[in-house]
Amino acid sequence: MDIAEKEKQFQDKIDSGQKIEAKEWVPENYRKQLIRMISQHAHSEIVGMLPEGNWITRAPSLRRKAVLLAKIQDEAGHGLYLYSAAETLGVERGELIDQLITGKAKYSSIFNYPTLTWADIGAIGWLVDGAAIVNQTMLARGSYGPYSRAMVRICKEESFHNRQGYELLYDLAQGTPEQKAMAQDALNRWWWPSIQMLGPSDADSKNSGETMRWRIKVESNDTVRQRFIDRTVPQAEAAGLTIPDPDLKFNEETGHWEIGEIDWTEFYQVIKGYGPCNKKRLRARQEAEHEGEWVREAAKVYAEKQAAKKTKAA
Amino acid sequence: MSTDQGMLWEVFVQAKPGIPHKHAGSVHAPDAEMALKSARDVYTRRREGTSIWVVPANMISATTEQDADSFFDPADDKVYRHPTFYTIPEGVKYL
């Protein structure tokens, strides 16, 4: 069977809604696009622990602290589910981690923003995880089985992240004037980056055509973004917080909330490495890799010694 | 290249007693003991499991997609293996 025939069979399978599984024949670019997407996604989960980790020691109560710890541990788990899914495409985990710590790989631009106040922890759970859920629910319907199953699992766990963040911010918004101002300030700073994290608008998205034809993505960035906006605006209202967009209005005809223009210059600046925390995030990952090295080495030597003992005994 | 990530292990989790173990994903670890602990932390943070198996990924043999049709076709023409193949007179019970 020649390549053209194989590609046709592959496309037919995708069009009929079947999942593609590990080790099946796939077009080289399908494999590459997926490795790119899944590894960026995995890196985002791992780097995403850093802005939140910043507040563990300063959580205002034991309850909030336990919740934050559990949430960050989930993010580590999500990173690992995703590396595991990427590996089914024949790439080594070590290679992916190298790409991250050498600065070759991208991760979600939003994690290059700092967490300046405790309210930012609420904003991340509510907005960043809220946007991630909408995106990941879409990706869960995608064509690659291992990625889609990782998404289903992650979405279930994200729901807790989303709710704890909203609860945190809602409580602040019902508190003293200073607490309410802190909540509003967090919303002001995280709103637009959350809108942007769902990716370039459809007109400028260079990977969209192919990824949609292969059902790696089943909806466009703008469609997913609109869903996030429609869900989130009423949640802000319920908390008595104001979305920082003077042009925001409800369109009675379409039933959708319409936002003002998105500042894409900022988005691309941050992606290119000029966000407020890009260097810091990269350095933290490099240090983690370096400082964990002796643990991995020790574990390896221990495993070898145990195995040798067993062979001797036998 | 970053340091050795350890062997790749496939993880199977039994959600509750009495049901089969189901593939959950994979972990890297230098030995089975660490693979089990890692699998617990990665795949059962919410009591999703009562038992975990880890298997070295390179020890699993699998059928291939390309050969699936010919591999499984011996079962295609043996409908008589299913109870519905047989005609039973009306009113006869417990068959």
At A109-164, the pLDDT tens digits run 999 999 999 999 999 999 999 999 999 999 999 999 999 999 999 999 999 999 99
- Give chain B positions within 8 Å (CB) of A77: 41-43, 45
CB within 8 Å: A77 and B31: no
Mean pLDDT of the residues in chain A: 95
pTM reported for the whole predicted model: 0.92
More confident residue, A282 or A22: A282
- Tell me if A270 sits within 8 A of A199, measured CB to CB: no
How many contacts does A have with B, using Cβ atoms within 8 A? 69
Instruction: State mean pLDDT over A10-34.
Output: 94
Distance CA A45, CA A233 (A): 25
- Tell me if A60 sits within 8 A of A68, measured CB to CB: no
A16's tokens: 């009929």
In chain B, which among 18-57 make CB contacts under 8 A with chain A?
25-31, 34, 41-43, 45-46
Instruction: State mean pLDDT over B24-50.
Output: 95
Instruction: State mean pLDDT over B37-64.
Output: 94
Mutation test of the interface with chain A: which of B1, B4, B5, choosing the one with the most A Cβ atoms within 10 A? B5
Q: Which among B2, B27, B41 has CB closest to A97?
A: B2
CA distance B52 to chain A (A): 16
Query: What per-residue confidence (pLDDT) applies to B3?
Result: 64
Residue A2 has pLDDT above 80, yes or no: yes
pLDDT tens per residue, range A243-263: 999 999 999 999 999 999 999
Instruction: State mean pLDDT over A185-205.
Output: 94
Listed in sequence order, the residues at least 6 apart from A3 whose beta carbon sits closer than 8 Å to its beta carbon are none
Query: What per-residue confidence (pLDDT) applies to A171?
Result: 97
Distance CA A69, CA A59 (A): 10
Query: What per-residue confidence (pLDDT) applies to B2?
Result: 56
- Give chain A positions within 8 Å (CB) of B39: none
A273: confidence class by pLDDT, cuts 50, 70, 90: confident
A30: confidence class by pLDDT, cuts 50, 70, 90: very high
ipTM of the complex: 0.86
Separation in Å, CA A182 to CA A112, A126, A141, A245, B60 = 20, 15, 37, 18, 54
Residue A4 has pLDDT above 60, yes or no: yes
pLDDT tens per residue, range A53-98: 999 999 999 999 999 999 999 999 999 999 999 999 999 999 999 9
Query: What per-residue confidence (pLDDT) applies to A23?
Result: 84
Query: What per-residue confidence (pLDDT) applies to B67?
Result: 80
CA distance B89 to chain A (A): 40
- Tell me if A110 sits within 8 A of A127, measured CB to CB: no
- Give chain B positions within 8 Å (CB) of A289: 2-3
Query: What per-residue confidence (pLDDT) applies to A1?
Result: 75
Ranges A41-50, A172-181, B32-41, B67-76: which has the least confidence: B67-76
- Tell me if A93 sits within 8 A of A289, measured CB to CB: no
**Is the CB of B70 inside 8 Å of chain A's CB atoms?**
no
Distance CA A314, CA B17 (A): 33
**Is the CB of A23 inside 8 Å of chain B's CB atoms?**
yes
Query: What per-residue confidence (pLDDT) applies to B58?
Result: 93
